[in-house]
Amino acid sequence: MRWFWIDKFIEFESGKQARSIKNVSLSEEHLHDHFPGFPVMPCSLIMEGMAQTGGILLGESHKFKYLVFLAKVPKFKSHRPVRPGDQLIYTATLTDAREEGGMTSVVAHCGDELVAEAEIVFAHVTEEDAGIPKGVNQKNVVEVGLAGVLAESGINE
Amino acid sequence: MADQEEVFEKIREVLEDALGVDEDEVTPEATLIGDLGAESIDFLDIVFRLEKAFDIKIPRGELFPENLASADSGFVVDGKVTETGIAEMREKMPHADIDSFAKDPAVTNVQNLFTVDMICKFVGSKLDG
């Protein structure tokens, strides 16, 4: 499994706002355990999709100079269960970006309906602090995993 | 001069949101780490919220100085902050109660300098320019 919880970006305004899509599918294996006979997308994964949208927005605002780590979720509210067949649209707004990290406010909609909202704080860390090998960073993820979809959507980085 | 009561009330709200604490827990003398359960990442969250609540800019390390009392700061001997270290703290943290700290300058007591009152004084001085 690849840890991508967004399928593509549909809007990307550098340093301000990004919108992405996640199509929820019954082929996702975890949905059959969560819950048997009543598949619901786990809120933790909705949060992850929100964090990926907001984290890439923050990372790009510094030209991916920093490693962006999800540090804290001060607020998360779910308004209704998200089920297979739903298309989530995450809208992340960068509310603060500075040398040490940043903060985003993210909402998730299905159509016009608000299904979840969150505030997410990110910290900038070094590769050493993060304990990960050199060269693995968010830019790679964007280039390898998401650049294709960004290009496909006709959105320039 | 900034209205101290108003400043305190806003800071109380900031800390309630950032730390998930109850209103009555936020007293002027409460320590952020010991009493309110703040962790290192919460400091960044608090700084973001203070900037927004008071429309001020807080440069990195100004409210919560980094590495003042870490092992490689050169200010710590035998688990205690040295005289030079204490002088440095007075300069970097003018809003903290360094006098009380100086009576028992154990490194473990450094975290007690970060109190609600310290934030109030810091914000007050920012607002007064």
Q: What is the CATH number of the domain that holds A144?
A: 3.10.129.10
The mean predicted confidence, pLDDT, of chain B is 92
Question: What's the confidence (pLDDT) of residue A80?
Answer: 97
Interface test with A, best of B19, B44, B47, B50 (most A CBs within 10 A): B44
Q: Is B87 on the interface with A (CB under 8 A)?
A: no
Question: Does the beta-carbon distance from A95 to B44 stay under 8 Å?
Answer: no
- Asked if pLDDT for residue A143 goes beyond 60, the answer is no
Per mean pLDDT, which range of A34-43, B16-25, B63-72 is the poorest? B63-72
**DSSP states of B12-56 as a string?**
HHHHHHHH---GGG--TT-BTTTTT---HHHHHHHHHHHHHHHT-
Per-residue pLDDT of A38-78, as tens digits, reads 999 999 999 999 999 999 999 999 998 888 999 999 999 99
Task: Report the complex ipTM.
Answer: 0.82
Q: Give yes or no for residue A121 having a pLDDT over 70.
A: yes
List all residues of chain A from 9 to 48 with a beta carbon under 8 Å from chain B: none
Based on the fold, state whether residues B106 and B83 are members of the same structural domain. yes
**What is the domain range of residue A126?**
8-151
A34, A62, A109, A124: which is the annotated catalytic residue? A34
**Which secondary structure element, helix H or strand E, spans residue B120, and what is its range?**
helix B116-127
B57 and B118 both lie in a single domain: yes
Test B52 with A98 for CB contact under 8 angstroms: no
Q: Are residues B2 and B34 in the same domain?
A: yes
Query: What is the distance in angstroms between the Cα of B31 and the nearest Cα belonging to chain A?
Result: 20
Residue % of chain A over a pLDDT of 70 = 82
Q: What is the mean pLDDT of residues B32-38?
A: 96
Residue A73 lies in a domain: yes
Chain B residues near residue A75 by CB distance under 8 angstroms:
17
Burial class for A148, CB neighbours closer than 10 Å (0-12, 13-18, 19+) = exposed
Q: Which two tokens stand for residue A154?
A: 């006709």
Q: Please indicate whether residue A132 or residue B32 has the higher confidence score (pLDDT).
A: B32
In the stretch 91-120 of chain A, residues with CB closer than 8 A to chain B read 95-96, 98-101, 103
Answer whether B45 sits within 8 Å of A100, measured CB to CB: no
Query: Quick one: B53 and B6 in the same domain?
Result: yes
Chain B residues lying within 8 Å of A100, measured CB to CB: 44, 60
Q: Indicate whether A86 belongs to any domain.
A: yes
* Nearest neighbour of A74 by CB, restricted to B18, B52, B60: B18
Tell me whether residue A156 is in a domain: no
To the nearest whole Å, the CA of B100 is away from the closest chain A CA by 30
**What integer is the mean pLDDT of B120-124?**
96
User: Residues of A with CB below 8 A from B48's CB?
Assistant: 95-96, 103, 121
Q: Are residues B98 and B75 in the same domain?
A: yes
> B23 is written with which tokens?
């209103």
Told to judge if A62 belongs to the known catalytic residues of this protein, a careful annotator would answer no
User: Which pLDDT band, with edges at 50, 70 and 90, does A157 fall under?
Assistant: very low
B16: nearest CA partner in chain A: A74
Residue B44: which of A75, A95, A101 has the nearest Cβ?
A101
pLDDT of residue B15 exceeding 80, the answer is yes
Q: Is the peptide bond before A69 cis (omega within 30 degrees of 0)?
A: no
Residue B60 and residue B119 in one domain: yes
CA distance A136 to A142: 11
Are B77 and B60 part of one and the same domain? no
Per-residue pLDDT at B4 exceeds 60 = yes
The answer to whether position A74 is within a domain reads yes
Q: Tell me the per-residue pLDDT of A122-138, one tens digit each, with 9 for 90 and over.
A: 999 877 777 776 665 55
What is the per-residue pLDDT for A150? 57
Number of domains composing chain A: 1
The answer on B54 and B4 residing in a single domain is yes
A131 is a domain residue: yes
Q: Do A72 and B45 touch (CB under 8 A)?
A: yes
B3 with B59, same domain: the answer is yes
Based on the fold, state whether residues B44 and B99 are members of the same structural domain: no
Task: Give the CA radius of gyration of chain B.
Answer: 15
Domain count along chain B: 2
Residue B108 has pLDDT above 80, yes or no: yes
Lowest mean pLDDT among A40-54, A86-100, A132-146, B33-47: A132-146
Whether B30 and B72 share a structural domain: no
Same structural domain for residues B57 and B73? no
Select from A82, A137, A96, A77 the least CA-distant residue to B45: A96
Per the domain annotation, does A2 fall within a domain? no
Backbone angles phi, psi at B65, to 5 degrees: -60, 145
Measuring CA to CA, which residue among A121, A63, A74, A72 is closest to residue A94?
A121
Domain that residue B33 falls in: 1-64+114-129
